[in-house]
Amino acid sequence: MSNNKGFSHPYVPNAEPGIRQRLLKTVGVASTDDLYASVPDALQVKGLLDLPDPLPSEHDLRSHVEGIIGQNVSCRDHLNFCGAGCWQHYVPALCDEITGRGEFLTAYGGGTYSDHGKNQAMFEFQSLIGELVGMEVVGSPAYDMGAAVNSAVTMACRITGRRGVLLSGGISGDRLSQIRGFTKPVADLSSIGIDPATGLINLDDLKAKLTPEIGAVYFENPSYLGLIESRGAEIAEIVHAAGALLVVGVDPLSLGVLAAPGDYGADIVCGDIQPLGIHMYAGGGCAGFLASRDEERFVSEFPMILMSIAPGVEEGDIGFAWSTMQRTSYDKRHDSEDYAGTTQWLWGIGAAVYLSLMGPQGMDEIGRGILQRARYAAMQIAKLKGAKVPHLDGAFFKEFVVDFSASGKSVAEINAGLRAHDIFGGKDLSGEFPMLGQSALFCVTEIHAKKDIDKLVDTLAEVLS
């Protein structure tokens, strides 16, 4: 097929034969083949790739793709009680509106003067997260929460000059995998025992393991299993006494009602911003954040872009610029100890919109509402024969464990039963935490009305019988 035939398509205007000819003439070559002179002929594809027949018509394309994803079940049509790192919350119309704005959607590496709006939105994201977590330095979004945790614990190791990292034994298997892979070359991981009664970290075990080699201690609040840690200040003291730094991972949506880690002694805070006005996208909505106090020794270790506000030359004007890029892998290249590139800024902007809408009242109300709904669901499920909620007496946010061991049924069976009624049950924990037996992690958020929770309970009752 001749290269000079050109190609007509809405996305490639200059491939149109007449235009192509004009450009070839201007450039002074006979065909585009000449422009590939640097590529050895032996490496060049002969003919066309074996790809599916194209659908240049937008209508046909849309039918085709929507036909494929139409096979998915949406959590809008089904009741969903699964969380475990990706959660179904209400996404305000304004969040979709703004993250859909073409200017934000298709901006990229513009700077202080060309993308002032994007920069301000990012500064506002950093600021609003800072308010929630009680920290004055917040970076632009990380790839996901796991990446933020990785950056945080290795940062702490570099700052303290130590290799040891103590991780709460309650983190998810996936989280542990991510941390293990990233920290392999630079840190030694060990686990803090969990008190089975409370589901929280065992402070005696923590103290026992806090040797002078430990640079970072990490726990999550709420934990992976939804439990709320109230001994933050005590833990911080213990950790600091040993010369280590405290890293806390949070659900920012809980911070309207839960204490800010910055206020109880955390040195570095990380979390996932997906609950803040971002759709689940089957996990594609996950995006992390990293925060610390405003101290040079912390700031110099942040791997991602930090947006700083700065004064304009005219009185009262402000602008924004990327700060201290020599911290980053862009500059450090082969000397890098962490890396960052394109991450998830669009979700950061969405989160900024979300928090601007919610305000303090909204965050308080949603926090309360989730605490209530989750507790109600847990209480009702606990009444069912064959189901136990081991931490019912504790405080939990959004998620809680239900132990079905006594029912004689596996979580897989129970979830299949729920699915038959168009309900997605909790995440099966039996593989991840075998000591919990046939347990599942149920997630209840503000989108669940009482009738939804009642339906879950009634259906569970049926499935368990």
Partner 1 sequence: MSGKQSDFQAARWNEALIMELSETGARGIVPPAMDADIAAAVGDVVAALPAGARREKLPQLPEVPQHRVLRHFMRLSQMCMGFDVTTDMMGTCTMKYSPKVHEHIARSAKLADVHPLQGEQNMQGLLELMYRFNKIMCQISGMDEFTFQPASGAQGIYTNACLIRAYHESRGELAQRNEIITTSFSHPADAATPSVAGFKVITLMPGEMGYADVDALKAAISDRTAGLMLTNPEDTGQYNPHIREFVDLVHEAGGLCAYDQANGNPLLGKVRAGDTGFDMCQFNLHKTFSAPHGSLGMGCAAVGVKDFLRKFLPRPLVAEADGGGYRLDYEQGEGIDKIRAFIGNIPAVLKAYSWVMSLGAEGLRAVAETAVLNNNYMLKSMREVRGVTIPWPANNYPKLEQVRYSFEQMFKETGVTSHDVIDRMVDYGVQHCMPSHMPMLVPEPFTMEPGESLTVAEMDQMLAALKAISHEAYSDPEKAQGGPYNASTTRIDSDVPEDPDCWAFTYRAYQRKKGHWTSESRRKIERHSGGY
Partner 2 sequence: MAPLRLGLIINPIAGMGGAVGLKGSDTAEIIARARELGAEPQSPRRAGEALAAIYAAGLPLNVIAAAGDMGEHEAREAGFSPQVLGTELEGDTVAEDSVRAAQAMAEMPIDLILFAGGDGTARDLVRAIGGKVPVVGIPAGVKMHSAVYATSPHAAARMVLRYMRGGVAQRELEVMDIDEAAFRGGAVSAKLYGYLNVPYLPDLVQGTKAGGVSSDRVSLAGIAARIVAAMQPGQLNILGPGTTMRAVANELGIDKTLLGVDLVRDGVRLAGDAGEKIILKHLNVAETDSAAAIVVTPIGGQGHFFGRGNQQISAHVINQVGIENITVAATMEKIASLRDSLLHVDTGSQVLNRELAGWRKVITGFQTESVCRVAI
Q: Which stretch binds partner 1 (CB under 8 A): 240-248, 339-347, 399-407, 457-465?
A: 339-347
197 binds partner 1 (CB under 8 A): no
Residue 147 interaction partner, one of partner 1, partner 2, none, beta carbon < 5-8 Å per kind: partner 1
Q: What whole-number distance in Å separates Cα of residue 79 and Cα of residue 77?
A: 7
Q: What whole-number distance in Å separates Cα of residue 284 and Cα of residue 266?
A: 28
Closer residue to partner 1, CB minimum distance, 284 or 437:
284
For 346-387, give the DSSP string.
HHHHHHHHHHHHHHHHHHHHHHHHHHHHHHHHHHHHHTSTT-
Q: How far does CA 302 lie from the centroid of its chain?
A: 17
3-state DSSP assignment of residue 388: strand
Of 329-348, binders to partner 2 (CB under 8 A) are 331-335
Among 74, 197, 204, 420, binds partner 1 (CB under 8 A): 74
92 binds partner 1 (CB under 8 A): yes
410 binds partner 1 (CB under 8 A): no
* Cβ–Cβ under 8 Å, residues 358 and 284: no
Of 347-406, binders to partner 1 (CB under 8 A) are 347, 349, 352-353, 355-369, 371-373, 375-376, 379, 395
260 binds partner 1 (CB under 8 A): yes
Closer residue to partner 1, CB minimum distance, 196 or 311:
311
Residue 190 interaction partner, one of partner 2, partner 1, none, beta carbon < 5-8 Å per kind: none
Q: What whole-number distance in Å separates Cα of residue 176 and Cα of residue 169?
A: 9
Of 122-151, binders to partner 1 (CB under 8 A) are 122-124, 126-128, 130-132, 135-141, 143-147
Closer residue to partner 1, CB minimum distance, 173 or 212:
173
**Dihedral of the alpha carbons of 31, 37, 42, 43, in degrees to the nearest 10:** -90
User: Rounded to the nearest whole angstrom, what is the least distance from the CB of residue 243 to partner 1 in the complex?
Assistant: 23
Helix (H) / strand (E) containing 164: strand 164-168
305 binds partner 1 (CB under 8 A): yes
Closer residue to partner 2, CB minimum distance, 326 or 361:
326
User: Rounded to the nearest whole angstrom, what is the least distance from the CB of residue 406 to partner 1 in the complex?
Assistant: 24
Q: Is 28 exposed, middle or buried (0-12, 13-18, 19+ CB in 10 A)?
A: exposed
Of 232-251, binders to partner 1 (CB under 8 A) are 232-234
Closer residue to partner 1, CB minimum distance, 192 or 447:
447
66 binds partner 2 (CB under 8 A): no
* Cβ–Cβ under 8 Å, residues 167 and 218: yes
For 201-254, give the DSSP string.
B-HHHHHHH--TTEEEEEEEES-TTSBPP--HHHHHHHHHHTT-EEEEEE-GGG
Residue numbers of the site for partner 2 (CB under 8 A)? Answer: 326, 331-335
